[in-house]
Amino acid sequence: MSARRGYYSLVQFCPHPARAEAVNLGVVLFCPDAGFIAARTLQGNRPAEKLVGREGVDKAALDAAKRAIEGRLDVERSSFQTLEDFQRFVDSRANVLKLTAPRPLKVLDPAEDLGRLFDELVGGKAHRVQRTPVFPPLDDLFHRLERAGRAQLNLTLNVPVLERPLRVPYAYRNGDLNLVKPHKFSAQEGEAMKAAVSLAVQGDLLQRHGKDEEDRKYYLTVVPSFETSGDGQWARTHVCRVLEEYQVKVVPEDRIPAFVANVEQEAH
C-alpha cells in the first residue's frame, strides 16, 4: 500500500492562551487523497482537570465542544477537499478547545493512522462515536441486497478530471452503476452550497467520464437531510436545485419508500 499525503491537528484544552499552557484531548486527521477527515477525542477530561483542577473544568461544556468537532467533521466531510479547507476549520475554533496548525505526515490507512496518532499523542480511552444510519430503511435495503449479491457497500471511486476520491456507502446495478450517497447538509448557507456544488460537480464528471471495468456508466443519487436551524429552508430549496442542474438525482426524505421499492425491483 503506497503512502499518501495527510495532515493532523491536535485538539487542545487551553484555558489561558497567554500562558501557552495546553493539554491534548484529541486529534484530527485529514487525508485529501483518500477523502478522509475525522477526529478522535478523549472520553474523559482528566488531563484538563490535572491542568486547572476539577473546579476549573466545566465537564459538560468541554464534552459538548469535543462532540461538536466530531459532529462537524462528520456532517461536512465532503466540504474538505484541500489543505486550505482544513486550515479554515482549524482557524474557526474559538471556544475552550483549539486546534493546532496542521502538520504533514504520510498516511497508509487513514482509520488506523488516526488511532495510532491518538495513542501516541493523547493516550487514554477514546470516545467512540455511535453512528446510526441517517435513513434506516435505505441502510436495511442495501445491506440485505448486498448479502444477496445485488448491491455493493462502501465504494471509493476516483472522480475523473478532479482526480479525487468520492466515497459512497451504497451502489447497485440496473444496467449502469448507480451510486447512492446520503448526505446531511449544514443549515448554514455557505457550507450547504459548498457541499452541494462539490457533489454536483463530482456527479457530473462521473456521469460524463467515468465507466467501470465492464464499460457501464456511473450515476450519482444524493439522499439529502438538512439541519433545521439557521438557513435550513433556504438550504433545502437551493441544494436540491443545484444538484438537479448537474443531472444528479435527488431523493427527498418523503420519497425514500418509493425509491427503496424501485431499487428492490431493479437491482441485479
Place of cell 425514500: 256
Residues contacting residue 52 through CB under 8 Å, at least 6 positions apart: 15
Supply the pLDDT for residue 131.
57
The pLDDT value given to residue 53? 87
pLDDT computed for residue 132 by the predictor: 57
Question: Could you tell me the CATH number of the domain that includes residue 214?
Answer: 3.40.1350
Query: Could you tell me the pTM of the whole model?
Result: 0.61
Instruction: Tell me, yes or no, whether 193 and 224 share the same domain.
Output: yes
pLDDT at 141: 92
SS3 category, 197: helix
Give yes or no: residues 17 and 44 share one domain: yes
Give the end of a domain, one of 59, 94, 121.
121
Question: In this structure, is residue 109 part of a structural domain?
Answer: yes
- Alpha-carbon distances of 45 from 15, 19, 28, 57, 124, rounded to whole Å: 13, 20, 17, 8, 10
| 127 assigned to some structural domain | no
The DSSP output letter for 16 is -
Q: What is the pLDDT of residue 219?
A: 94
Inter-residue contact 30 to 7 (CB < 8 Å): yes
Counting the structural domains of the chain, the total is 2
Find the domain containing 53 and state its range.
4-121
Within-domain flag for 126: no
Q: Are residues 156 and 261 in the same domain?
A: yes
Mean pLDDT per 10-residue run, the chain (268 residues)?
87 82 93 88 90 85 87 78 91 84 92 91 78 78 92 87 84 92 80 86 90 79 77 72 93 93 94
- Are 106 and 148 in the same domain? no
pLDDT at 184: 81
My answer on whether 97 and 17 are in the same domain is: yes
